[in-house]
Amino acid sequence: MTDSTDRVPIEPQSIVTPLSKAAVFLVVTLDSAARALTHVLEVISDIGALTRAVGFRDLQGRLSCNVGIGSDAWDRLHRPQRPAQLRRFAEIRGPVHTAPATAGDLLFHIRAERPDMCFDLERLLLQALGDCVTVEDEVQGFRYFDSRDLLGFVDGTENPTGGAIRQSALIQSDDALFEGGSYVVVQKYLHRLDRWQALDTASQEAIVGRSKLDNVELEDAPGMESHKTLTTIVDEQGAEHDILRDNMPFGRPGHAEYGTYFIGYARNLWVIERMLHNMFVGGKTGRHDRILDFSTAITGSTFFTPSLSLLTTLAG
């Protein structure tokens, strides 16, 4: 008997799906004409049709697509309500490093077990959108060995598991009209691998806060907060708040380009914002995340990813 989960592609706007082997991160801006918005809404409200057109060729490819909508684009919808925490990505200027804010009205997060399926869905999507959008950023990501980043460490270890995934990543009934959606922040980081690889393993581990080989959490060195510590968010009541990361490495060795595309989904946008503030401005010690001495953020945008039921009504 065939398992029903193997008979249909993953539903669009499925945020909590397993990590994939390939991904495309596509950020676009909308043309200012009213007709552009109307056309784009027609395309994204039926994103499932395009996804099925490609995904049905190989159901084991597990193709999916999440659509995110930026704050400015949401304002253009002229809907009576908006997600409670949706706002533009704000530049974070620390004493040494800066997290820039860059343009983005729509995010398409395409995932699959095969890069050709991601490629073809992106091709059809851009063909359907036509001149109504301008591509601001486009990154093809890949799974690197056992889910490691190009710095050599396992990425996403602190992702929530089980029932905690939905509680951490999806908006709950406290914002009922947007329940099942998620806030998503994306950033593209470029690594200085030559400088990073010049460090000994112990120094790298102290910066990350984990052992490199077996991924075991380490105590922070005296007077220093590791990346692990700075991105662990605990509120005033002592409760820890998680996000769902679906980061991917990318690169072009021929151009000496090596990077990580950060993408974080969260029930509460402020959790990601506080993580980034800690990294760039500093935590309890007032010192920035040392990983930024080797990894430069060159983009930064915030989006709201609606539930599928809400997405399908936007063109109405």
Active-site residue set: 155
Name the one residue in this structure whose structure tokens are 């004493």: 95
Closest CA to 13 of 51, 54, 59: 51
- Helix or strand run (H / E) with residue 169: helix 164-169
Show the 3-state SS of 76-108: HCCCCCCCCCCCCCCCEECCCCEECCCCCCEEE
Helices (H), strands (E): how many in the chain? 10, 14
Radius of gyration of the chain (CA): 19
Torsions phi, psi of 237, nearest 5?
A: -90, 0
3-state helix, strand, coil in the chain (%, to 5): 35, 25, 40
Name the one residue in this structure whose structure tokens are 């359907």: 128
Query: In the numeric block, which tokens belong to residue 199?
Result: 């460090």
